[in-house]
Chains A and B, each alone.
Chain A
Amino acid sequence: MFSQRLNYNGVTIPSLSLPAMLSRPQSVSVVALQVLGDLGISGIYWSTCYNTTALLEYQYTHFLHGDPWPFVTALLWEDIRACIRILAKHPILASRFGTTANLVGSALASAWTLDSVMSKAFEERLPDGHARLLGAGVVGFVSDAFLACLKTPPYFWIGPEVTRLFAAGQCPFLSNDQLKTANSVGGLSAVT
């Protein structure tokens, strides 16, 4: 699996399968990293590559040979603008988001204080000691109503829809109180 060598600030995190993640409570970091690792980090990390051949080459030359994966750090507010630039140039996500890419910044601002939304930045440590931002990933715990919409055909692209909902003043993620209640009762639905 792609996340088997997932590296969190120098510590390699063993990979869990999706079913294993569901079997017991997970810490914030593990949830974010594992969800991203299994479902998103590859695409996010590849966001600076521009074709499938290049990303596969990077994967084989770096990942499979045991080189460290990008460092995962907290997404800082000052990184948002750079992340949006990456999104706008992304060979696949740019077309999926279309004009809603302009609303991503304000959507992230709205979600910034929610405990149900976790974000991470991925950086490459350059030989000169500097870090280069590769992208970011967001994982959120959504409401049952939004979950039902997600799973009802016809399907839609999640990221743009979440952005559009935020712009319309509707939050698909759980509030801080709803998060505590849902975690205590039935469990949480994570969307990445």
Chain B
Amino acid sequence: MLRGYRLKEIIGQAKFPEELLAAFYSGGLLLGPDGLPQKDAPESADKVASKPHVITMSRNLVPHYLGTVSCLYTRSLSSALPAPSNAFSMPRFLV
């Protein structure tokens, strides 16, 4: 039996540009003006961090961003998540 908190999503905001970049490097995504997640900020980190923004990562988003650090952990995720549509092209050890 597993005990603990089962996270489905993490939301945060950065105070400094460096913190924003740290979140990106940790696999976080920025919600764009359309409310959709995007990997790259449309503006500089300075500008993004200076106004209200949302950094997120969720279990639903993980399979679509395998090129990030999340690819290191897809093995543990694969049992809990549906395989991404392009999973067949992934090396076996990743999926």
The chain A residues found within 8 Å of chain B, CB to CB, are 1-2, 17-28, 31, 35, 38-40, 42-43, 46, 52, 55-56, 92-93, 141-142, 147, 150-159, 183, 186-192
> With the chains together, A25 CA to B71 CA distance in Å?
19
Q: Given A25-B3, A190-B11, output 10 extra A-B contacts at Cβ < 8 Å.
A: A1-B26, A20-B72, A22-B62, A26-B7, A39-B12, A39-B14, A42-B22, A52-B17, A92-B15, A142-B11
CB distance from A46 to the nearest CB of B (A): 7
Top 5 closest pairs, chain A to chain B, by CB: A187-B8, A25-B4, A39-B12, A19-B70, A43-B15
B-side interface mostly? mixed
A-side interface mostly? mixed
Max chain A C-beta neighbours (<10 A), residue from B22, B31, B58, B77: B22
Whether B90 is near chain A, meaning CB under 8 Å from some CB there, is no
> With the chains together, A142 CA to B8 CA distance in Å?
12
**Residue among B10, B35, B68, B69 making CB contact with A39, cutoff 8 Å:** B10
CB distance from B53 to the nearest CB of A (A): 6
Contacts of B88 in A (CB 8 A): none
> With the chains together, A42 CA to B20 CA distance in Å?
10
State whether A17 touches B27 (Cβ < 8 A). Answer: yes
State whether A190 touches B7 (Cβ < 8 A). Answer: yes
> With the chains together, A24 CA to B57 CA distance in Å?
14
> With the chains together, A156 CA to B11 CA distance in Å?
13
- Say whether, besides A17-B69, A192-B12, A1 and B22 are in contact (CB < 8 Å): yes
Whether B33 is near chain A, meaning CB under 8 Å from some CB there, is yes
Q: In chain B, residues 8-45, which have Cβ atoms closer than 8 Å to a Cβ of chain A?
A: 8-19, 22-23, 25-28, 31, 33-35
Contacts of B10 in A (CB 8 A): 18, 21-22, 35, 39, 189-192
Whether B93 is near chain A, meaning CB under 8 Å from some CB there, is no
